[in-house]
Structure 1
Amino acid sequence: MARFLFVVLPVVSHLNAPLAIAQALEAAGHEVAWCGPRSDLRPLIGPDATLYPTGKRYYRLDGESGMASVRSLWEGHVLPVNRFIRDAADRAVADHRPDVVVVDQYALAGALAAHRHGVPWATFCVGTLELTPPTWEMPEFTDWVRAQLPRVWAMTDLPVDETIDLRFSPYLVIGLTSTALTGATPLPAQCVLTGPALGHRPDAPGFAWNAWDPARRHVLVTVGTMAEHLARDFYQRMMAATAPLADRVQVVLTAPPDLVPDPPAHVLVAPRVPVLELMPRLDALVSHGGLGTVSEALAHGVPVIVAPIRHDHPAVARQVVEAGAGIEVSFGSATPAELTAALTALLDEPGYRAQARRVGASFAAAGGAVAAARHLAALAARHIDHCPTGTAPLA
Structure 2
Amino acid sequence: MSRFLFVVPPLVGHVNPAVGVAAELAARGHRIAWAGLPEVIGPLAGPTAEVFRCSAGPDGQTAVRPPDLRGPAALKFLWDGFLAPLAEAMAPGVATAVQRFAPDLLVVDQQAVAGALVAERLGLPWATSATTSAEFTGALDGMPLVAAWIRDRLAELRDRVGDPGATGDPRFSPHLVLAFTTPELAGGSVAGPVRFVGPSITARPTTAPFPWDWLDPARATVLVTLGTANTDAGSAFLTAARQALRERADHLQGVLVDPGGVLGDPAPDRDLLVARAVPQLELLARTALVVCHAGHNTVCEALWHGVPLVVAPIRDDQPVVAAQVAAAGAGLRVRFGRTDAARLGQALDTVLGHPAYRTAAHRIGDSFRAAGGAAAAATQLEQLLIPARQEAP
1:391 matched residue in structure 2: none
| Structure 2 counterpart SS, 1:205 | coil
2:25 matched residue in structure 1: 25
1:374 matched residue in structure 2: 379
- TM-superposition CA deviations, 1:5-30 (whole Å, max 9, x none): 00111011111100011011112221
* 259, 264, 270: which one aligns with 2:262: 259
- TM-superposition CA deviations, 1:159-193 (whole Å, max 9, x none): 2412x110000000011111011222x53521111
Q: Is the 8 A contact 1:284 1:347 kept in 2?
A: yes
Q: CA deviation at 1:385?
A: 11
Q: Is the 8 A contact 2:228 2:259 kept in 1?
A: no
Structure 2: distance between partners of 1:94 and 1:132:
36
Name which of structure 1's ranges 87-96 and 58-67 shifts more when overlaid on structure 2: 58-67
Aligned residues: 384
Q: CA deviation at 1:116?
A: 2.3
**TM-score between the two structures when normalised by the length of structure 2:** 0.93
Amino acid at match of 2:106: V
RMSD of aligned residue pairs (Cα, Å)? 1.9
Q: Is the 8 A contact 1:54 1:89 kept in 2?
A: yes
Q: CA deviation at 1:263?
A: 7.1
Amino acid at match of 2:30: H
**TM-score between the two structures when normalised by the length of structure 1:** 0.93
Structure 2: distance between partners of 1:202 and 1:61:
31
Aligned pairs for 1:251-330 within 5 A: 251-256=254-259, 258-261=261-264, 262=266, 265=269, 266-330=271-335
Structure 1: distance between partners of 2:286 and 2:350:
19
Q: CA deviation at 1:206?
A: 1.6
Structure 2: distance between partners of 1:256 and 1:202:
19
* 196, 204, 209: which one aligns with 1:206: 209
Q: CA deviation at 1:338?
A: 1.2
Aligned pairs for 1:1-395 within 5 A: 1-56=1-56, 57-59=60-62, 60-63=64-67, 64-135=69-140, 138-156=143-161, 158-162=163-167, 164-184=168-188, 187=190, 189-256=192-259, 258-261=261-264, 262=266, 265=269, 266-383=271-388
Q: CA deviation at 1:45?
A: 2.7
Q: CA deviation at 1:152?
A: 1.2
Structure 2: tracts of 5 or more residues without a match: none
Name which of structure 1's ranges 51-60 and 237-246 shifts more when overlaid on structure 2: 51-60
Q: Is the 8 A contact 2:105 2:127 kept in 1?
A: yes
Q: CA deviation at 1:339?
A: 0.8
- TM-superposition CA deviations, 1:326-350 (whole Å, max 9, x none): 0000110012111111101111210
Structure 1: tracts of 5 or more residues without a match: 387-395
Structure 2: distance between partners of 1:353 and 1:140:
39
Amino acid at match of 1:173: V
1:393 matched residue in structure 2: none
